[in-house]
Chain A
Amino acid sequence: MAGLAAAFGSGAMTNSIAEIENADTIFIIGSNTTTCHPLVAKRIFRAKKNGAKIIVADPRKIQMAQFADVHVQHAPGSDVALLNGIMNVILENKWHDKNFIDEKTEGFESFKKTVRDYTPEKAAEIADVSAEDIIKIADAYANCEKASIIYCMGITQHTTGVDNVKSLANLAMLTGNIGKESTGVNPLRGQNNVQGACDMGGLPNVITAYQPVISDATNEKFAKAWNTDILPQVNGRTIPDMLDGLDNGEVKALYVLGENPVLSDPDIKHVNKALEKAELLIVQDIFLTETAKLAHVVLPGVCFAEKDGTFSNTERRVTRVRKAVEPVGDAREDWKIIQDISNAFGYKMEYESPEEIMKEIAALSPSYGGITYERLEGDGLQWPCPTTDHPGTPYLHKDNIARGKGLFHAIEYRPPAEETDDEYPFCLTTGRVYAHYHTGTMTRNSISLDNEIPEGFLEINPEDAKRLDLLDRGRVNVASRRGEISTRVMITDRVPPGVVFMPFHFVENSANVLTNPACDPIAKIPEYKVCAVKIFL
């Protein structure tokens, strides 16, 4: 999100899911849409039926590639080179939108200078694709009325994640595909309420609705509203920084609400070591997760079916969550648990219901200002929704880009943090399967879903499998510089030679034992999508 915020001034999906149907070209990069966001994929299929061109850039032959007009299997981590190549073609052919660039953007000249070096031939060599395909993509994206970009973790989970996103923002601005219906740069959020967790200030540098913690005005406003004088005007620690802090003794206590860093964070050994050093580890969850097993205190929260509240989806749509059944056993609503702890700690909270909490959120958060439970009946509301008579906002940057002017960034290609070598000759990339979700806390406890895909696997190209003498469904060991696991082989041409893939849902053979914790310097996203491994029997 840092990349989009830098370019446009707002880090969220610019357009709406429904608008995808009316796009003329859809460029899908680093999103395995049919697996991870099936109901968004449905809109893409409808767009195709309406005549849209589909472009897929993904190292794997994902299902969506079957429906693509152009599919390139670029080398993992080569996104910036590929995108600069595409933009080079657009500029050389004068397919760019000069009026839009002049009126609504800045930074174009230095961007142009950088992109000039990325001829399709040069980009093709870095990305291991054909120059013809780069030209085809540029043509399809630039020469249509409404082009929409869809991306996901395949773009962000790199040490160059922010660069990748800025490059996509460059591409959209270059062709004027922003601030109009059915265009834009659209990150599909992986978790149901990841947008909401960001919106609510679940970040070290902003309070609700992205109000920066380093600001006298924000500080004053919240100090008054929250009746406190201890609000710090300094950015807090990110998750990797908190784990490092535990490791070096600067952080002593950790309160983990509904997260499972032992499975979801890179380099599990390091995470375990850090968590074991905590003087106080509080875990509030619905299952005894791998993280909860390490805790000093385990607090049973409730799941979505047992509480009232709201989620904010990937298109900024706030919708209601409604309680259907009573909590199991002695489990309690999460906000109540935190409120009880806060009161016992000495900071007073007296909320009666989630609706009362939402009233406070709306009063303090400009983009949620017009959101009330009453108004959320029906379709919900898309933020920004500043007042109670505002209808919500299907797409952002309509008249002007939120930042004032859209900012072009001159981005050079940087290789991934870890490249293959003689000892670790395979490039491992990770992701999801259709029947499971994240660390599997929920899906692996669902009988139907766990029966569907009961265990992890390693996708490997037939050519590589033959060379290593591997049998389909046989067991194999995979090791990186950080750890080693054993898993089952799946021989498939979904991956090209030299690249292997593993899902990360399975605790028995967790892919994140292998992955590289090297992070993007700005967004601090670990490089899950590229690390070097060796494979042996």
Chain B
Amino acid sequence: MDYKTVLTTCTYCGCGCNFFLEVLDGELVGTIPCKTSYVSQGGLCIKGWNVHEFVTSKKRLTSPMIRKNGELQEVSWEEAIDYTASNLKQIKDENGSDSIGFFASAKVTNEDNYILQKFARAGIGTNNVDHCARL
């Protein structure tokens, strides 16, 4: 049996509570509050206590998909990346940079968001970047 706990930050609301994720043999099995967390001080709400559950949901996406004949079909990463990049390129060439838009995300990390807006601005050449702060 291999058991470990990993200190991290909650993915739900903006409080930014910290807790330990319990990992048993590579599987998430539970959440333990963190007493030394500056924000949550050993407390958690109902969503925080159960935050590990959605991670192991059977409905998680596990493979890239491309729509073929009207249906989303599983494809390799190579095909998905090529398809996406070449179509973006074609649309940019035909309609200009500002015909492409990006939704950044309040759910992903700072690093992920930074890379997305860098790609939009420096790669594509558009400032069409926004996220759902308003919503």
Contacts and interface: CB of A to CB of B under 8 A. Distances in A.
Interface of A: 1, 17-18, 36-40, 42, 156-157, 188-205, 207-208, 213, 222, 226-228, 230-232, 234-239, 242, 245-246, 250-259, 261, 264-265, 279-280, 282, 285-288, 292-293, 295-301, 303-307, 309-315, 317-326, 328-335, 337-342, 344-347, 349, 351, 354, 357-358, 360-361, 379-380, 434-437, 442-443, 445-449, 452, 523-526, 528
Interface of B: 6-18, 21, 23, 26-28, 38-40, 43-47, 50-55, 57, 59-67, 72, 77, 80-89, 91, 95, 97-135
Given A238-B130, A449-B50, A194 B106 contact: yes
Contact of A323 (B6, B12, B117): B6
Select the residue from B51, B102, B119, B127 with max chain A CB neighbours within 10 A.
B127
A425 to B, nearest CB: 27
Contact of B122 (A198, A347, A448): A347
A279 B91 CA distance: 9
Select the residue from A192, A202, A358, A442 with max chain B CB neighbours within 10 A.
A202
Nearest to A231: B121
Given A232-B125, A258-B107, A242 B15 contact: no
A417 B129 CA distance: 27
Contacts of A228: 121-123, 125
Given A288-B61, A304-B9, A305-B28, A452 B111 contact: no
B57 A446 contact: yes
A264 B132 contact: yes
Select the residue from A193, A315, A326, A525 with max chain B CB neighbours within 10 A.
A193
Select the residue from B55, B83, B89 with max chain A CB neighbours within 10 A.
B55
Contacts, number: 438
A231 B54 CA distance: 39
Contacts of B23: 324-325
A417 to B, nearest CB: 15
8 contacts: A242-B101, A254-B102, A287-B57, A309-B109, A311-B109, A314-B13, A331-B62, A342-B123
A190 B128 contact: no
Contact of A447 (B53, B84, B108): B53
Contacts of A446: 50-51, 53-54, 57
A285 B72 CA distance: 15
Given A309-B109, A313-B15, A358-B110, 20 more contacts: A193-B107, A197-B104, A202-B131, A203-B129, A228-B125, A231-B122, A253-B100, A255-B88, A255-B102, A257-B116, A258-B108, A293-B72, A297-B67, A299-B80, A305-B28, A345-B88, A358-B111, A361-B110, A434-B47, A528-B135
